[in-house]
Amino acid sequence: MSEMKIGLETHVTLDTETKLFCGCPTAPAEPNAHTCEICLGLPGSKPVTNEKAVKLAVQAATALGMQLNRKSLFARKTYYYPDLSKNYQITQYDSPLAEKGALNVNGKITVTLTRLHLEEDPAQIVYPHGNMANSTYSLLDYNRSGMPLAEIVTDPCLKSPADAKAYLEALFKKLSYLGVIDAQNERVMKTDANLSIPGGERVEIKNITSFVAVEKALQAEFFRQRKAKQSGENVERQTRLYSEETNTTLLMRTKEQEEDYGYIVEPDLPPLYLDEAFLEETLSAMKELPEIATRRLSHFVPAQYAEVLVFQNLAPYFESSKTPDKLFLAKWVCGDLLKCMNYHGIWEPHKALAVQELDALLSAVSSGKITERAAKEYIKEMVTHQKPIQHFLSAQKGGEMDELVAEVLKSNPQAVSEYLAGKEKSLEFLLGEFLKRHRGFQPNEVREKLKATIQNLKK
């Protein structure tokens, strides 16, 4: 198998309320509803940087082990296309926000990263009848124009399409965990994949959305390049597109047709300085890195539970519990509690069940007051109807009392007959026997229960 070199440039949409350079909302809307002078590029408009976007980008870079550039510059990348409202994109060129990081993928490979920078998204082109090749006209939706992107570039160190897919999955997992990207949004990550084989030039495949498609595109492109080499052709520098229908890559433009973007420093924006106060605020607001949280929890519970606790947002809740048996606790939190949460679409565990309630429930199970089977039923009701544990324990106590009373009567048949014959004292005797054995019951309640049960026996 010949060696291949793969590098990926991934654009992730940062999860902010408003766009990168204007106050338009990022939430989905009717086409062109979320536009203004700035993202439409009207003459006289000027960009202003969204601080939240910078914060999220800084958090992403930090989580990826990158070095932050305390001063970075925005740049204009000029080219002509209908989806670019100013016919230039504000991006970062010479001096990006962060450089040199790494991502460990599944504990097997480490993917080193070249850089991370901020840039705005162009508008969306919509083909009402088919695609670019056959639609009679195209429509432009500028809602996407100006959306905040972080571009993450890997070194060309990936060795297979499968590794590329694994990297993207690990990247997605990490960034959604941090809250840097919105995991519910299908289009939150777009990738340009670069591939070269020995003796050939690098080919770029642009704008692939799904991770599976990235793997397939690279595979298809590898075959194309290998075949070309075998036929004695040169593999030339090109930009291509991946077609899902044919599972092949198609030529978009050759290196001669490559545009010169004529980068200049963006003169409407001062340099982006990350000062001490800003960094402190940003990094302290960051969630604990997942690998660190997982490692910490692995001291108490097996790794697979630790992973679930971390990535399902259960770790802080787990750690605030007073249940002493952590494995037992993890089984319940990652099992029945999580099931209930998923059933009801609740993301935050304390909104599903107060941790004190869970502790009380588990304590009742460990002390034998209730069976595990009963507890599995109770937890569902506690989450669904927000019923407190006391409700079940007193009801339980009622049922429990029945059993215990029956026990006492069974053990003392003589006293039962005597009572039935009219001897009141025998009831007190039976009560005494009961209270000797079992704590936590109201004597009057038990007396009534004894009476009632004996009456039933009589019948």
Interface positions with another protein (CB under 8 A)? 37, 40-49, 76, 78, 80-82, 85-88, 260, 262-265, 267-270
Q: Which is nearer to another protein, 71 or 387 (CB)?
A: 71
Q: Element (H or E) spanning 111, and its range?
A: strand 109-120
Residue 185 to residue 182: CA distance in whole angstroms = 6
Closest CA to 146 of 51, 23, 245: 23
CB burial of residue 15 (10 Å; 0-12, 13-18, 19+): buried
Q: Which is nearer to another protein, 33 or 292 (CB)?
A: 33
Residue 225 to residue 135: CA distance in whole angstroms = 31
Distance in Å, CB of 86 to another protein, minimum: 5
Q: Which is nearer to another protein, 44 or 413 (CB)?
A: 44
Q: Which is nearer to another protein, 42 or 303 (CB)?
A: 42
Q: How far is CA 83 from CA 40, 126, 150, 420, in A?
A: 10, 10, 19, 93
Give the three-state DSSP class for 96: coil
Terminal Cα-to-Cα distance of the chain (whole angstroms) = 86
Distance in Å, CB of 76 to another protein, minimum: 5
Q: Pseudo-torsion of CA 145, 151, 156, 157, nearest 10°? A: -130
Distance in Å, CB of 40 to another protein, minimum: 7
Residue 322 to residue 360: CA distance in whole angstroms = 9
Q: Which is nearer to another protein, 126 or 457 (CB)?
A: 126
Distance in Å, CB of 312 to another protein, minimum: 41
Q: Element (H or E) spanning 126, and its range?
A: strand 124-126
Residue 243 to residue 413: CA distance in whole angstroms = 85
Distance in Å, CB of 377 to another protein, minimum: 58
Distance in Å, CB of 82 to another protein, minimum: 6
Distance in Å, CB of 85 to another protein, minimum: 7
Q: Which is nearer to another protein, 49 or 114 (CB)?
A: 49
Distance in Å, CB of 56 to another protein, minimum: 19
Q: Which is nearer to another protein, 3 or 260 (CB)?
A: 260
CB burial of residue 348 (10 Å; 0-12, 13-18, 19+): exposed
Residue 31 to residue 29: CA distance in whole angstroms = 6
Residue 279 to residue 291: CA distance in whole angstroms = 21
CB burial of residue 448 (10 Å; 0-12, 13-18, 19+): exposed
Instruction: Report the chain's C-alpha Rg in angstroms.
Output: 33
Distance in Å, CB of 266 to another protein, minimum: 8
Distance in Å, CB of 241 to another protein, minimum: 18
Q: Which is nearer to another protein, 81 or 347 (CB)?
A: 81
Is residue 219 within 8 Å of 205, Cβ to Cβ?
no
Q: Which is nearer to another protein, 241 or 269 (CB)?
A: 269
Residue 80 to residue 84: CA distance in whole angstroms = 7
Give the three-state DSSP class for 448: helix
Q: Which is nearer to another protein, 257 or 320 (CB)?
A: 257
